[in-house]
Amino acid sequence: MAEPVKRPLWSAVLALVAGAAALWGASRLSWATAAQADTDAKRVLVPLALVALAGVAGAVAVGGWARRVLGGLLVLAGGFAIWHGAFPGTGPDSPFAGRGLAMLGGLLVVFAGVLLAWFAARLPTMGAKYRAQTTTGRSGDPDKDLWDELSAGADPTDEKG
């Protein structure tokens, strides 16, 4: 198995945190004066920001196919945020700041989802260094070998082995 790469994981985590902050910030900005569509769109952004923050915990905790599924869900959530930010409301003043920030947050979440899905097998997972090794080779250090055998379940008091 290839050596785990950490940079895409950190990039995905930072993109998710920044995307969540952008989505939350966009929900606090004024999008239009009295357009109901804009109010509804802003209400959707806070749950999407929470999904992005939950994605941080999921990205660090899971691995393999579960991380690919998480990446796909984050791509969908980010695409939903982009879609909500892209369509203008019906109000006369519809400043771009709120919409642009929502689209930026959505793009960051999509970027993180793509990274997680693409590099899922090569990213480090929690507890990976504590898993039992499948190799039976000895290291040459008798103390380390003894501890490795104990970790594998060998009984050092057994006189057969």
pLDDT in tens, 74-94: 999 999 999 887 765 544 445
Contact 31, 99 (CB under 8 A): yes
**Encoding tokens for residue 22?**
């952008």
Rounded average pLDDT over 26-52: 77
CB 52 within 8 A of CB 19: yes
Residue 118, pLDDT score? 93
| Element housing 24 (H / E) | helix 7-28
Mean pLDDT of 135-159: 74
Residues 37, 40: Cα–Cα separation, whole Å:
5
Q: Which of 29-38, 81-90, 144-153 has the highest mean pLDDT?
A: 144-153
Does residue 153 register a pLDDT over 90? no
- What tens digit of pLDDT does each residue of 87-139 get? 655 444 456 678 889 999 999 999 999 999 999 888 887 765 555 555 556 66
User: What pLDDT, on the 0 to 100 scale, is given for residue 139?
Assistant: 66
pLDDT in tens, 12-32: 999 999 999 999 998 888 765
Instruction: Give the number of other Cβ atoms within 10 Å of residue 73's Cβ.
Output: 17
- What the block records as the tokens of 76 is 């969908």
**C-alpha 56, offset from chain centre:** 4
- Determine if the pTM surpasses 0.75: no
The residue that leads in pLDDT, 44 or 20, is 20
Helix/strand/coil percentages in the chain, nearest 5: 65, 0, 35
What is the pLDDT averaged over residues 45-69? 94
1, pLDDT greater than 60: no
Residue 51 has a pLDDT of: 97
